[in-house]
Amino acid sequence: MEFKDYYTLLGVERGASQDEIKRAYRKMARKYHPDVSKEVNAEAHFKEVGEAYEVLKDPEKRAAYDQLGEKWKEGQDFRPPPGWNQGFEFHGGGFTEADASQFSDFFESLFGGAQATYSASRAGHFNTRGEDTHAKVLIDLEDAYHGVTRTITLRHTDLGPEGRPQIKNRTLNVRIPKGVHQGQHIRLVGQGGAGVGQGKAGDLYLEIEFKPHPFYRAEGRDVYLDLPVAPWEAALGATVKVPTLTGTVELKIPSGSASGNKMRLKGRGIPGNPAGDLYVVLQVVLPSAESNEAKALYKQMEQKLAFNPRAGLGV
């Protein structure tokens, strides 16, 4: 389609502020809204106004549009694809390799360093690297200790035979290495968005996320376990069995322990260089007093220990 002057469509000067552009868009949108407007071709004008505002409201897109507009001569065709992020196709004579160099900064800023290149042998066409894409993959915490292969299905937009966008599903078998941690990114080269022309595909970045675990929680490479202990184990000390993600170990609880005390098992966290640690957080659990015998024992403790848990509060 013919090049459109977005500023003219909104009725503002090229140096208009973002607030002025917003106010102008609202005014035009009310004027041409198909549900209320009696203007001729209101729906077409409404779409054009929306297109103009979509670009000019974004400072980065506006800067890119301003650069291109300054270089473009009236009468040349300009076809921006939806979203300004799939590449450009230019038609019109007089566009040389020297002209292309003037647009290099524009394309680099527009595509976020997408490495757009101009081919002199195919004047008027650009080879653009595909976009990097991002996705999350859920794994069990145990997988971080041993590694695992996961099958993931991704939905992506592709161009069909007639150049129209279409949604496709893509399945990948991904090897999750041993030692990954929450929030870590795995880069799969060439598995991102398709390139334009001869441009290479972008990369796929998978963000690791752990499924909730009934016992453990991870913070970085360290792992935490809340360990229930009996009052006498905490008071007198004891050696108890503790589950870990690499097997059961025996842990010596010192006498006089209390709820919230942490005990570190070095190197028992997520593998790495160095490996994380496993922190055992003691949680004193009281026996129930449902039976007469249990109630009698609690009564004896009340009478003989003279224990006031609120002494530190001054009451």
Q: Please, are residues 211 and 139 in contact by the beta-carbon 8 Å criterion?
A: yes
What mean pLDDT value characterizes the chain?
80
Average pLDDT for residues 51-70, to the nearest whole number? 76
In the chain, which ranges are E strands? 77-79, 89-91, 117-118, 126-127, 133-139, 148-159, 165-176, 185-188, 204-210, 216-219, 222-229, 238-244, 247-253, 262-265, 278-284
CATH number of 216-305: 2.60.260.20
**Cβ within 8 Å of residue 270, ≥6 positions away:** 144, 145, 179, 180, 181, 218, 221, 222, 223, 276
Q: 132-187: per-residue pLDDT in tens?
A: 888 899 999 999 999 999 898 887 766 666 656 677 888 999 999 999 999 999 99
How confident is the model over 236-288, as pLDDT tens digits?
Answer: 999 999 999 999 999 999 999 999 999 999 999 999 999 999 999 999 999 99
Quote the pLDDT of residue 271. Answer: 95
Say what the pLDDT of residue 112 is. 43
Tell me what the mean pLDDT of segment 95-119 comes to. Answer: 42
* Pairwise pLDDT comparison (64 vs 232), residue with the higher score: 232
For residue 91 the two structure tokens come to 């038609």
The interaxial angle of helices 42-56 and 18-32, nearest 10 deg, is 160
CA dist 25 and 8 (Å) reads: 11
Model confidence at 231: pLDDT above 70:
yes
Where, residue-wise, is CATH 2.60.260.20 in the chain?
A: 133-210, 216-305
CATH 1.10.287.110 domain range(s) in the chain: 6-127
Tell me the average pLDDT across 203-218.
94
**The CATH number of the domain covering residues in 133-210:** 2.60.260.20
- Residues of the chain with pLDDT > 70, as a percent, come to 77
For the domain 6-127, what is the CATH superfamily, name and number? DnaJ domain (1.10.287.110)
Residue 250 phi/psi, 5-degree rounding, is: -100, 135
CA distance 36 to 57: 24
